[in-house]
């Protein structure tokens, strides 16, 4: 019962924050095209997985497209694209099929859209970007962790319990994934990419 209450509270607070961040988002043709491209890339990378000894699999830098969308263009678009990814992943990505209807809201719709929070502090300096990446990674890991506790406790290793199993399984998967994806983002020439995107946008207007 306690695990259920914790999960419900986290999920409600997350959606409240995400919906609040979505205020003022503009959906025009350019944004639709960009979001569609990033969604397709995310789902493709999510389908390429590397198995690890804990039984988990690490996708090939799948957070990267949505992280770049959040940091370089608009975090609101990344949150929206993440919700679409969560819906499509249930159909298109092996391993993302929910075992319970509640998992869809706790994990699917949270663990993609939370990547949009990487741009919530702005992109004026790498310190702000790093703070956003840490927040997005934290939300993603919590979403997976609570989903594991609530919906996959029956798979727990002997003597580990629901929390121990979920921590071991999800940290072994998501910590390397978030560290690698974040390192790639920070290693890119973000200022130059931002200027190129702005020039392209100006030329198209």
Number of compact structural domains in the chain: 1
User: Could you give the CA distance from residue 182 to residue 135 in angstroms, rounded to a whole number?
Assistant: 11
Q: Which pLDDT does position 167 carry in this prediction?
A: 93
pLDDT of the residue at 203: 54
Tell me what pLDDT residue 23 has: 86
Per-residue confidence in pLDDT tens, the chain, 205 aa:
788 999 999 999 999 999 999 888 888 888 899 999 999 999 999 999 999 888 888 998 999 999 999 999 999 999 999 999 999 999 898 778 888 888 999 999 999 999 999 999 988 888 999 999 999 999 999 999 999 999 888 888 888 888 999 999 999 999 999 999 999 999 999 888 888 887 766 555 5
The pLDDT of residue 205 is: 53
Which pLDDT does position 24 carry in this prediction? 82
Residue that has been written with the tokens 């690490």 in this structure: 58
Full domain range(s) for residue 71: 2-204
Per-residue pLDDT, 124: 83
Written as one string, the DSSP assignment of 5-50 is HHHHHHHHHHHHHHHHHTTT----HHHHHHHHHHHHHHHHHHHSEE
Structure confidence at residue 123 (pLDDT): 86
CATH number at residue 51: 1.10.1760.20
């Amino acid at each position: 019962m306690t695990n259920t209450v914790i999960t419900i509270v986290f999920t409600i607070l997350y959606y409240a924050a995400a919906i609040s961040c979505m205020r003022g988002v503009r959906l025009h043709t350019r944004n639709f095209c960009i979001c569609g491209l990033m969604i397709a890339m995310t789902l493709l990378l999510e389908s390429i997985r590397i198995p690890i000894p804990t039984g988990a699999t690490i996708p090939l830098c799948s957070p990267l497209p949505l992280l770049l969308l959040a940091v370089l263009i608009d975090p609101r678009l990344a949150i929206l694209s993440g919700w679409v990814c969560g819906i499509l992943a249930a159909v298109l990505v092996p391993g993302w099929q929910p075992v319970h209807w509640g998992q869809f809201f706790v994990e699917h719709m949270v663990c993609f859209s939370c990547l949009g929070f990487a741009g919530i502090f702005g992109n004026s300096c790498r310190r702000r970007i790093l703070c956003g990446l840490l927040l997005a990674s934290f939300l993603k890991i919590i979403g997976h962790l609570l989903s594991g506790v609530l919906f996959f406790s029956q798979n727990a290793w002997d003597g580990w319990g629901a929390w121990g199993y979920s921590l071991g399984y999800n940290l072994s998967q998501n910590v390397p994934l978030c560290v690698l994806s974040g390192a790639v983002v920070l290693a890119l020439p973000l200022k130059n990419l931002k200027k190129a995107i702005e020039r392209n946008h100006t030329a198209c207007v």
